[in-house]
Amino acid sequence: MSSPAAGQGSQLLKPKHALVTGGARGIGLAITRMLLAHGARVTMVGRNTDLLEQSAQSLKQCGEVAGATADVSDADAVGRAFNDARDRFGAIHILVNNAGQASSAPFLKTDSKLWRRMMSVNLDGTFYCTQAALPDLLNAGWGRVVNVASIAGLRGASYIAAYCASKHAVVGLTRSLAMEVAAKGITVNAVCPGYTETDMVEQAVSNIVAKTGRTPHDARIELASHNPQKRLVQPQEVANAVLWLCLPGSEAITGQAIIVAGGEVQ
């Protein structure tokens, strides 16, 4: 995934319209910035209107970017946001399903509310957004769908059964849809990060501290220990993988779950 993904940008995605859910912070913001650097017009979708506006303003110098407010677990809200995005930047060519949530609990303490929250955002949101965007991709005869899953979508892990189940389902959806549209100029892939330097990891650190009494420093070392490189993945590294799947030259890559985790394997 070297040039131009790791370079200083290009116009290879101009004038494509990319839509990134959860695109105003963390991994999503890194993806938004990367797509802009390569010429795409980008719509960020998220629940926090103020954050969307702040992020859009901070990225104005990078290219054409705007926000659209929606909770991805609400199919009607997704439909409205996607229509607003089309009104602004035209048909959608690239969809990055990045919005997600993570919560941990022992299996017998995983109640139906936690279970549904993981499924509604991580899985239902991916489903609703993909259904909303796919007609544009089919009409164009070209498109890219990249689902930001997790290495937890490829293997089990203690205390995150609901999260694991939702991300495994995203990987299954990815593989199934990829086969369905393989001959239509559309690729569908998943990127599966390990522990990444985001708000979600900060939440995990806080949980470890609260439950074990460890220091935040020790908690971060514990999370980084899962990575053979003994570090947390950086959002930019995940964004590089997403970009590569959207650029010319990646046409033969579809139905894949690409691990970005410093050597962790399933």
List the alpha helices (DSSP H) in the chain.
Answer: 26-37, 49-58, 75-89, 112-118, 125-140, 161-180, 199-212, 216-224, 235-246
Count other C-beta atoms under 10 Å from residue 50's C-beta.
10
CA distances (Å), origin 254, targets 54, 135, 181: 34, 18, 10
Note if 163 is an active site residue. yes
Calpha distance 259→192 (Å, rounded): 5
Q: Are the C-beta atoms of residues 227 and 262 closer than 8 Å to each other?
A: yes
Q: Which of 128, 159, 163, 195 is catalytic?
A: 163
Q: Mapping DSSP to helix (H, G, I), strand (E, B) and coil, where does residue 146 land?
A: strand
**57 HSE (CA, 13 A, CB side):** 6
DSSP label of 50: H
Q: Are the C-beta atoms of residues 91 and 17 closer than 8 Å to each other?
A: yes
Tokens of 45: 């979708």
Question: How many whole angstroms from its chain centre is CA 91?
Answer: 20
| Bridge partners of residue 217, in order along the sequence | none
Calpha distance 162→109 (Å, rounded): 11
Calpha distance 54→39 (Å, rounded): 21
Cα dihedral 254, 65, 16, 91, rounded to 10, equals 100
Catalytic residues: 163
